[in-house]
Chain A
Amino acid sequence: MQVRVRELLVGLILSIAAMLLPGTDVTPASAQTPIAPAPKQPILFSHKIHAGDFKIDCQYCHADARRSSYAGLPSVKRCMGCHQIVASKDAELQKEVEKLRALWKEARPVEWVRIHKLAGFVYFPHKRHVQKGLACQQCHGEVQTMTEVAQVAPLTMGWCVSCHAERQGPLDCVVCHH
């Protein structure tokens, strides 16, 4: 009995702690409203400049999206493929490019802050969704307009399932949970 008290206690404390955290379970009013503020990234990388202004294809950098369950992050080498030469006219932004170059010199990766995360018991293959022709924006929002990316879709099961139902995707639980 004592053990159960202790377990309950710890559970209670954790749930209080969870309540004190900023809410993550809020359904967005529209798909474009961030459900949480954009986190501060180690480098101010603007998707608006890259994907919006320069119209670089999403999969040029997230190259594994079409062949793996992960979308993949561009390697520092890939960033440097352009930034070896390409600099910014804006002095403030050029500082960000210099941050990248410094990391490359030290052969260190960029420690990006994760924005989109599914629970450990969910298996989401980017590959099948990309190959089906689904736009990245469907789940990630209009990233090409965001200077700093924030999560806009709730990525909850109900949200996934409603799309699957609408587009005749598989509805078997084990497809995502195994």
Chain B
Amino acid sequence: MRDGRRAGEGMDRRGFFRIVGASSAAAAAAGCGKTTEAILPYVIPAEHIVPGAATWFATVCRECPAGCGVLAKSREGRIVKLEGNPDHPVNRGALCARGQASLLSTYDPDRLPGPRVREGDAWRPVLVADAQKLLVEKLAAARQAGTGRIAMLTQLETGSLGRLADEWLKAVGGRPRVAYETFAHEDLRAASLAVFGVDAIPYHAFEDAKTILSLGVDFLETWVSPVGYAGAFRRAHALREEHSARVIHVEPRYSMTAANADEWIRSLPGAEGAIALTLLRLVLESRQIPALPAKEVAALVAAAGAVDVEAVAKQSGVPVSKLKSLAEALVKGAPSLVVSGGVAASGSGGVDAAISVNLLNYALGNVGRTVRFGPSSSLSRASRYADVLALTKAMAQGEIAVLIVKDANPAFTLPARAAFAEALGKVPFVVSLSSHLDETSARAHLVIPDLTPLESWGDYSPREGVWGLLQPAMAPVPKVGPTNPDALDLPQLRAVRDALGRKAPETFPGVETKATGDLLLDTGRALVPGSEKTLFLAKSFADYLRESWRAMAKTVSPKAAFDGFWEDALRRGGYWADVPATKVALRAGVKVSAQAPPLDGSATDPALLVVPSSRYYDGRGANKVWLHEAPDPMTQVVYGSWVEVPAETARSLGVQSGDVLRVESPHGAIEAPAYVSETLSAGAVAVPTGLGHTAYGRFARGVGQSPYALLPAEPTAGSGGRRWLGVRVRLQKTGRREKLASPAGVTEVDHSREIFETVGLTEAVKLERGGKAPAHANLPSMYPDLKYPQNRWGMTIDLDACTGCQACVVACQAENNVPSVGKGDIDYGRSVHWLRVERWWDRGHGGAAATGHAAVPGGIGVAQAAETPAAGRPSARFLPMLCQHCEVAPCEPVCPVFAAYHTADGLNAQIYNRCVGTRYCGNNCPYMVRRFNWYRYEWPAPMNLQLNPDVAVRDRGIMEKCTMCVQRIIAGRDRARDEGRLPRDGEIQTACQQTCPTQAITFGDLKDGKSRVSRLSGSSRGYHVLGELGTRPALTYLKKILREEHA
């Protein structure tokens, strides 16, 4: 996103004179007067808005079905930042990378500002009223043709909009609405129904479990409610009073969740069900399970009886001894929790696996304790994949006259084999209510873009007992020009700009459209006579929403006056209450098989694991540039997708990372660069979801490849879900290379240096009991010691809590106006991220560094390691790296202009307007955290509306780095001073700390001995990264606790 000027562009003599001519004329014209700037007052001041002061609105994140609560920070009427709502029961103040980036959909430069009608291959802008008239005409004609000719496909809408859409469809004689979610977890629902007679996805209380066994579930990444579950996982896993939950993860692939487990057991693809059933048998045989009625025990025995432990060990690649020790761990570590149903593991055997896990949880006494059916997930209200296919079939057969699609992109996310795009072509009139042109809406005949969640009224219930309320936190994005037009855009210098061949900066025309709720009410009234007095009585969707909350308030809070209830809900972001676990009973005669049906394709080929991306999700995140720039947690790859190939396979194929492979399944083929993995099971290859868009916005188009092209269309027999694990693929070298871009440098942990430190569990318990703070290196310095008259700001990062999820990286980018630099520059080491989460490979003290196995330069080039087989598989370590705010900072004395200096409260500050760009400081920083602006980076309108007005936007030639969110420190002090006090501990939070789902980061005053950060800095697990250099950092890292001794 930098400007058009690149090195190497030449200028000829003619061009030179053209510029000289044009600019002398311009200079003459410009010399006559000073340009003036207008300042405009409000005509009528907006209530509660004080220009220059932030206002916060509580609303709901709609990036995935988890429905986390968010607080939207408004400055002068535009949302500049999203933060988790601390009161919300799902996410408790935290937000993931996708949640942090979700405001980019509001400021998407490729967003549709208003309705469009297709004319051939072109789009014609139309007025809202005309678009609505056209829609009503088409709908009226479809109604004439008979019932069931109108269909609607939306994302999961569990609130008022979904109800209104259902009422609308009924009134106009349409088909039942299809609520499509790409990752709908049908297997979990089917298994609950089979075992307990409830069609639901229960709440999994990770926080209450002492032993957690995950069978291929990425609960820290995308599964059901990742932010909530990550927090719950941390609460269970933290070492507290000498106890910490034991977490075991079984999966063919070393995922981020696997990397955070105490033990990762590498299984073969598709063996989850067999493992669960074997564990059930072993658990029953142990006779140490809670007392159950004889009938139920008999049923459990009947289900598990037939399983052959030896055969399962062979089928799954997990030895018998390991299976036995797993069963023992579950029995002894009550209460436990076993989960299954991760997308990558959901295939034809998915329902059987989920049934086995349900039985296992029941036998272990977890159902009702850690598996709770009362506060069930709303995902169980999504349509099954089979229902989506049924609609596709009806479309293909010409049964649908008008199809309305909203917030779903089935033309991209369904398997190519499902032929949704072709079926779409058979529908005479397709209406999209999406705010962007994606693969589905690009094929529509009419688009009436909805407003984005930040601009809309709405509600969403992510689980029973939680009703989130959305309110318009800002008006629809207005007309926006470039914030800081280049000097060459001054009218008198435009001739120079044109001569230089520079493009005029973009202008966004401003959104003018009708929200979907209002559109449904208006069209409903137009189509159904008399409905304006009954069904569609509400004047607007806002009224409809309020009325449906009035009805809800009557049941949940009958005594309170509604106005107060409503205002309270708006202020808090919704209404929530505790829902007790409902009792479920084991159904008689549950049948389950340990044998999963074979995958499509040749049995000798590796199985394809489709990995849901923690950044792009099912593909909806692909147009958010922040998500491209934050590296994938495990591979550290930015911009682009890859085929993860086990080292063994890569060796036999002669493939290195970056070699483009053709991946062919019986259903389709893609070509993507290989990522050679030392950890992936030899029987598998893995491809992440989310990229490979052919339409969608400028940041998504043409980036990466989509695994959806490889998948079968048929649903699973057991649940009507998708066969994510369904094919084996053939790999072929294409001979081409495509370098995987990554910001990572050296990635092997060198145990001879203080970079990533760990401590064993026994030692950690000993330290917790009475360990003293280790003496940090305090080497002599030639500079006088610093005194801190008031505060000394400092930070601790608990490496035992950090999961590597990248939420902090995106939060920092949002808060601090960090530019996005593009794929090539990131790979070139020119990323501007102030905070990065490094992924290191640890081979233990006997590993790479000790054996002279050279650290691999060039980052992700694990291919070199694959050529010389390393002893054992490496473990991933996540190290958030940012400015250490050293007391003896190497960057400060080398700055010739004093742009880098130390503040009186311990910050290592960088003054942009002083910086002349020598880059001496960056060269002298041992932590590589200083970032240089090589170009003038641009925020195409309206992305510039998101810029934080409290932080300067840095120009070309300026060095920048983490400021510990100094603007938040100043704001916190300001608030405290208004109230005539000092800032309270914990009151000032940095952006990275605020969003962390596992609360790994603590910020505060080190001079205050009682502050949390002081206490943690003095922790017996504390160490300074590269403290040996004598930099005396203000950041203390807490060593990661290795719990592998459990096993």
Residues of chain A having any CB pair with chain B under 8 Å: 2-3, 5-6, 9-10, 13-14, 16-17, 20-22, 24, 36, 39, 64, 67-70, 72-78, 103-104, 107-114, 117, 119-121, 123, 125, 127-128, 131, 172-175, 177-178
B903 touches A119 (CB 8 A): no
State the CA gap A117–B963 with chains docked (Å): 25
State the CA gap A55–B224 with chains docked (Å): 64
A67 touches B53 (CB 8 A): yes
The segment from B27-35, B335-343, B519-527 that touches chain A is B27-35
Q: List 18 A-B contacts (CB under 8 A).
A: A2-B10, A3-B5, A3-B7, A6-B19, A9-B16, A9-B20, A20-B31, A69-B53, A73-B39, A75-B41, A114-B36, A114-B39, A121-B912, A128-B977, A174-B911, A174-B966, A177-B913, A178-B951
State the CA gap A117–B36 with chains docked (Å): 11
Min Cβ gap B24→A in Å is 8
* Extra A-B contacts (10), CB below 8 Å, given A39-B36, A70-B51: A17-B27, A21-B34, A22-B34, A24-B34, A72-B50, A76-B42, A103-B43, A109-B41, A113-B39, A172-B905
Tell which of A6, A17, A103, A107 touches B11, judged by Cβ atoms closer than 8 Å.
Answer: A6
Complex interface: chain A residues within 8 A of B43 (CB): 75-77, 103-104, 107-109
Min Cβ gap A64→B in Å is 5
Complex interface: chain A residues within 8 A of B7 (CB): 3
State the CA gap A75–B951 with chains docked (Å): 27
Complex interface: chain B residues within 8 A of A13 (CB): 23-24, 26-27, 496
Q: Mark B938-966, 1 if CB is under 8 A from A, else 0.
A: 00000000000011110000000001001
A112 touches B41 (CB 8 A): yes
- A-B pairs with the 8 shortest C-beta distances? A20-B31, A68-B52, A73-B41, A70-B52, A69-B52, A75-B42, A13-B23, A109-B40
A172 touches B903 (CB 8 A): yes
Min Cβ gap A134→B in Å is 15
A64 touches B967 (CB 8 A): no
Tell which of A77, A112, A121 touches B913, judged by Cβ atoms closer than 8 Å.
Answer: A121
Closest B residue to A24 by beta carbon equals B34
Grouping DSSP codes into helix (H, G, I), strand (E, B) and loop, the B interface class, with mixed when no group exceeds half, is loop
A2 touches B11 (CB 8 A): yes
Min Cβ gap A119→B in Å is 7
Complex interface: chain B residues within 8 A of A117 (CB): 37
B952 touches A177 (CB 8 A): yes
Min Cβ gap B567→A in Å is 23
Closest B residue to A72 by beta carbon equals B51
Min Cβ gap B58→A in Å is 22
Complex interface: chain A residues within 8 A of B24 (CB): 13
State the CA gap A9–B40 with chains docked (Å): 36
B42 touches A177 (CB 8 A): no
Q: Mark B789-803, 1 if CB is under 8 A from A, else 0.
A: 000000000000000
Complex interface: chain A residues within 8 A of B912 (CB): 121, 177
Complex interface: chain A residues within 8 A of B53 (CB): 64, 67-69
Whether a CB of chain A sits under 8 angstroms from the CB of B565 is no
- A24, A70, A119, A131: residue with the most chain B Cβ atoms closer than 10 Å: A70
Closest A residue to B36 by beta carbon equals A113
Residues 340-363 of B at the A interface (beta carbon under 8 Å) = none
Closest A residue to B46 by beta carbon equals A75
Min Cβ gap B865→A in Å is 40
Residues 902-959 of B at the A interface (beta carbon under 8 Å) = 903-905, 907, 909, 911-914, 950-953
Complex interface: chain B residues within 8 A of A175 (CB): 970
Min Cβ gap B758→A in Å is 35
Closest A residue to B43 by beta carbon equals A76
A173 touches B909 (CB 8 A): yes
State the CA gap A173–B967 with chains docked (Å): 13
B37 touches A119 (CB 8 A): no
Closest A residue to B51 by beta carbon equals A70
B50 touches A74 (CB 8 A): no
Whether a CB of chain A sits under 8 angstroms from the CB of B38 is yes
B38 touches A111 (CB 8 A): yes
Tell which of B51, B487, B952 touches A178, judged by Cβ atoms closer than 8 Å.
Answer: B952
Tell which of A17, A103, A107 touches B26, judged by Cβ atoms closer than 8 Å.
Answer: A17
Complex interface: chain B residues within 8 A of A20 (CB): 27, 30-31
Complex interface: chain B residues within 8 A of A114 (CB): 36-39
Whether a CB of chain A sits under 8 angstroms from the CB of B45 is yes
State the CA gap A114–B966 with chains docked (Å): 29
State the CA gap A173–B37 with chains docked (Å): 27
State the CA gap A172–B905 with chains docked (Å): 9
State the CA gap A17–B35 with chains docked (Å): 12
Complex interface: chain B residues within 8 A of A39 (CB): 36
Closest B residue to A78 by beta carbon equals B45
Closest B residue to A170 by beta carbon equals B904
Grouping DSSP codes into helix (H, G, I), strand (E, B) and loop, the A interface class, with mixed when no group exceeds half, is loop
Whether a CB of chain A sits under 8 angstroms from the CB of B56 is no
Complex interface: chain A residues within 8 A of B16 (CB): 9
Complex interface: chain B residues within 8 A of A104 (CB): 43
State the CA gap A109–B42 with chains docked (Å): 6
State the CA gap A125–B51 with chains docked (Å): 12
Complex interface: chain B residues within 8 A of A125 (CB): 974
Whether a CB of chain A sits under 8 angstroms from the CB of B294 is no
A178 touches B970 (CB 8 A): yes
- B43, B500, B913: residue with the most chain A Cβ atoms closer than 10 Å: B43
B27 touches A16 (CB 8 A): yes
- A13, A77, A178: residue with the most chain B Cβ atoms closer than 10 Å: A178
State the CA gap A125–B973 with chains docked (Å): 13
State the CA gap A65–B507 with chains docked (Å): 32
Closest A residue to B6 by beta carbon equals A3
Closest B residue to A74 by beta carbon equals B41
Complex interface: chain B residues within 8 A of A74 (CB): 41
Min Cβ gap A51→B in Å is 17
State the CA gap A112–B41 with chains docked (Å): 8
A112 touches B40 (CB 8 A): yes
Residues 767-807 of B at the A interface (beta carbon under 8 Å) = none
Whether a CB of chain A sits under 8 angstroms from the CB of B562 is no
State the CA gap A121–B912 with chains docked (Å): 8
State the CA gap A16–B28 with chains docked (Å): 10
Min Cβ gap B486→A in Å is 10
Complex interface: chain B residues within 8 A of A77 (CB): 42-45
Min Cβ gap A117→B in Å is 7
Complex interface: chain B residues within 8 A of A177 (CB): 911-914, 952
Complex interface: chain A residues within 8 A of B1045 (CB): none
Min Cβ gap B910→A in Å is 9
Complex interface: chain A residues within 8 A of B496 (CB): 10, 13
B40 touches A17 (CB 8 A): no
Residues 955-1003 of B at the A interface (beta carbon under 8 Å) = 963, 966-967, 970, 974, 977-978
B51 touches A14 (CB 8 A): no
B970 touches A120 (CB 8 A): no
Closest A residue to B898 by beta carbon equals A173
Tell which of B42, B484, B963 touches A174, judged by Cβ atoms closer than 8 Å.
Answer: B963
B11 touches A5 (CB 8 A): yes
Closest A residue to B38 by beta carbon equals A111
Complex interface: chain B residues within 8 A of A107 (CB): 43-44
Whether a CB of chain A sits under 8 angstroms from the CB of B9 is yes
Complex interface: chain A residues within 8 A of B904 (CB): 172
Complex interface: chain A residues within 8 A of B52 (CB): 64, 68-70, 72
Closest B residue to A171 by beta carbon equals B904
Closest B residue to A103 by beta carbon equals B43
Whether a CB of chain A sits under 8 angstroms from the CB of B901 is yes
Closest A residue to B76 by beta carbon equals A70
State the CA gap A117–B1018 with chains docked (Å): 46
Complex interface: chain B residues within 8 A of A22 (CB): 34
Min Cβ gap A78→B in Å is 8
Complex interface: chain A residues within 8 A of B901 (CB): 173
B963 touches A178 (CB 8 A): yes
State the CA gap A114–B913 with chains docked (Å): 23
Min Cβ gap A47→B in Å is 15
B487 touches A113 (CB 8 A): no
Known: A64-B51, A109-B41. A14 touches B487 (CB 8 A): yes
State the CA gap A75–B39 with chains docked (Å): 12
State the CA gap A83–B5 with chains docked (Å): 53
Complex interface: chain A residues within 8 A of B911 (CB): 173-174, 177
